[in-house]
Amino acid sequence: MSRDLFVREMRHIGVDVSRETRDQLEALVHTLVRWQKAINLVGNATLDSIWVRHVLDSAQLKILIPERAKTLTDLGSGAGFPGLVAAAMRPDLKVTLIESDARKAAFLGEAARRMALEKPPKIVVGRIEAVPPAKADVVTARALAPLGQLLKWAQPHRTDTAICLFHKGKDWKAELTEAMKDWDIPGQPFTSVTDLDAVILRIGQYTAKHGTAAVRDRQPKGRRRQNDDGD
């Protein structure tokens, strides 16, 4: 039933999900549920609503990714949301998944294999700030870190004309206000289809403000995943 609800909700935002794509996403969900017994990929409380809470929440990016985009890099991919979902929804994209946890990276590889994606994603195991720059047209992140930290991490992984698509929860306005102390951020919030208090921040060519703390770490080094359920 939840898969059918996912398909209906995607149709409401103007996206028809093909049978092939649905089967690929089904493979992702089945693989996740099996691996969840061994490692914590998502919050256990969200498993019953995985098609809405995680798959739909990720798939809604489809309408925000430019048609001309050729590459996408997902920061802190974890359970594959939104990176693997984006790879299924946009099979033309070359997708790179960056994940520092070797076990989660192994899951990403197994899930991608079982999904039989047209273009298998490149999986990079390492810290976001330490791996080679990906230089993607689109950079994504979900439930990973405060906005200011995301902007710093994303900077070397984007092209000059790239956009960033960041899932943000109910405190997104406060995060944006804080981040704007250090960054000039041309962006627009889009209300999430899964949570009216949450948004997808679509950010264009942002730059660090001269003489601000944007040029140095403001967060402890390493990933700070806020939680495992997308808030």
Q: Write the pLDDT tens digit of every residue in 31-87.
A: 999 999 999 999 999 999 999 999 999 999 999 999 999 999 999 999 999 999 999
pLDDT of residue 231: 37
pLDDT mean over 193-203: 97
pLDDT exceeds cutoff 50 at 219 = no
Tell me the pLDDT of the chain averaged across its residues: 92
pLDDT mean over 15-41: 97
pLDDT exceeds cutoff 70 at 227 = no
Q: Give residues with Cβ within 8 angstroms of 24, minimum separation 6.
A: 88, 115, 116, 117
Phi, psi (degrees; rounded to nearest 5) at 97: -110, 120
The model's confidence at residue 1, banded by pLDDT at 50, 70 and 90, is low
The model's confidence at residue 2, banded by pLDDT at 50, 70 and 90, is confident
pLDDT mean over 156-168: 97
pLDDT exceeds cutoff 50 at 196 = yes
The first and second tokens of residue 83, run together, are 């990176």
Q: In the block, which residue shows the tokens 């019953």?
A: 48
pLDDT exceeds cutoff 70 at 225 = no
The single-letter DSSP state of residue 40 is -
pLDDT of residue 224: 43
pTM tops 0.75 = yes
Nearest to 49 by CA among 22, 78, 29: 29
The single-letter DSSP state of residue 51 is I
Strand segments, DSSP code E, in the chain are 71-75, 94-99, 122-125, 136-142, 158-168, 183-184, 187-191, 199-203, 207-208
pLDDT tens-digit map of 73-115: 999 999 999 999 999 999 999 999 999 999 999 999 999 999 9
pLDDT of residue 230: 41
pLDDT tens-digit map of 131-160: 999 999 999 999 899 999 999 999 999 999
pLDDT of residue 26: 98
pLDDT exceeds cutoff 60 at 217 = no
